[in-house]
Amino acid sequence: MTHTFHPTILREYDIRGIIGETLSAADAQAIGAAFGTRVRANGGSLVCVGWDGRLSSPQLADAVVAGLMESGCAVRKIGRGPTPMLYYAAKARGADGGIMVTGSHNPPNHNGFKMVLAGKPFFGPDIKDLGRIAASGAYAAGSGSVRDDDVADEYAARLAHDFDGQRGLRVVWDCGNGAAGEILGKLVRLLPGEHTILFGDIDGSFPNHHPDPTEPHNLIDLQQAVAARRADIGIAFDGDGDRIGVIDGLGRILWGDQILVILAEDLLKTHPGATIIADVKASKAFFDEVARLGGNPVMGRTGHSLIKTQMAEIGAPLAGEMSGHIFFADRYYGFDDALYAAVRLLGIIDRWPEMTLAARKDALPHLVNTPEMRFDCAEERKFQVVAEVRDRLAAEGANVNSIDGVRVDTADGWWLLRASNTQAVLVARCEAADEAGLTRLRAVLEAQLTASGVTLPA
């Protein structure tokens, strides 16, 4: 039977839609059948399926499983939990593929799917191919099977295995009622120290605050709890547990590139000269610090699937994004796992004889920057705007890195303009040594956007 998806849901890195509007159980079943067809064509049959805590996720997971079975796949249902638990299960079971039903950090009425095939990210043209298979109805035929395979305890033990601290810390955790809560409860029982969990009950309505640690207002509860308990660190997760947020003992936010510097500093002690990847939105301070520490900093394109692919291609043991995706291939599997990143970070801080996280943050280079600015731009126009800006800059002889949009270096610092791969928006950021330089950079960015008929928000 043929099936046509809503044109908005097949994204660059995953599949996302609004329940009852652009995404349904019928879509999920077609996704399962189409993905199963790809697994079978690849010579495999075993697929792991997991789901997050959203209210719609169990129904979508059942539909995905039905589609996989129709295509002749053997399904292992690993249960409810964070996305990296699905990635772990696929690795640990030697599965040929994996599907995670998750809406990540999107609003409660959204949901979607993240996939792996033969141990590699499934994105871009592969996702578009699912649409082609469904539209043609050219599914593999077969009679599959399904069984439960609860990996939660095994996964928690694997996370705890790599903790290498000495005494334990006072830690506050904020799950935001997202999918990491149950696993975190298991994990902290295996770690030394004093642990307080906020909003660990999984609730897809997210009654306390939205599970997105990149938004400062979502970290207020964590900051207050860190202060009240005089904790060494606060750690937050997004809705599906693949992005991390960090608060120091003074309640200050450490952004993704700052977290990555601390992780890189420790890793380079045992892997001197290692390549560390950060996405194009990362601060100049990251690249300077990794080079100073003897590493090889590499700038990559934004997008968790792209980073994972680049990591595997060049053999980097560590990578990260400003959004809080952290990827360890050192002693781990190379996928983004916020719980694992937390374990490694706690081990590092715990081994510092006298330094606190707050003191280490103070020792980082201090630059001034704008927050990530996101503003609407029509889908058919967003990439064209970036191309127009790039062409004008080339004509001016500007120092431009065009690996992902345009990142422009000047005497004041740098500014970035890129098109989102998942939404009809443009993304911009500026960074300078001081406020005067930041004002000048923003003025240049604004002038370029105005020349292309786009208004930069105040």
Q: Report the chain's terminal Cα–Cα distance, integer Å.
A: 50
DSSP 336: B
107 contact partners, CB below 8 Å, separation of at least 6: 210
- The H helix count followed by the E strand count for the chain is 14, 22
Of the candidates 24, 57, 71, 104, the residue annotated as catalytic is: 104
Q: Own/partner pairs for 293-302, CB < 8 Å, 24+ apart?
A: 293/264, 293/265, 293/268, 294/268, 295/264, 295/268, 299/401, 299/403, 299/407, 300/403, 300/404, 301/403, 301/404, 302/404, 302/418, 302/421
Residues in the chain: 458
Bridge-based pairing state of the strands 169-174 and 193-198: parallel
Question: DSSP H helical segments within 189-332, as ranges?
Answer: 220-229, 256-270, 284-292, 304-314
One-character DSSP codes across 59-89: HHHHHHHHHHHHTT-EEEEEEE--HHHHHHH
DSSP helix/strand/coil, 298:
strand
Closest Cα partner for 385 from 409, 418, 415?
418
Residue with tokens 């495999």: 44
Closest Cα partner for 442 from 418, 458, 425?
458
224 contact partners, CB below 8 Å, separation of at least 6: none
DSSP helix/strand/coil, 376:
strand
48: tokens are 């792991």
DSSP helix/strand/coil, 20:
coil
Q: Are 116 and 256 in contact (CB under 8 A)?
A: no
143 part of the active site: no
Active site residues: 104
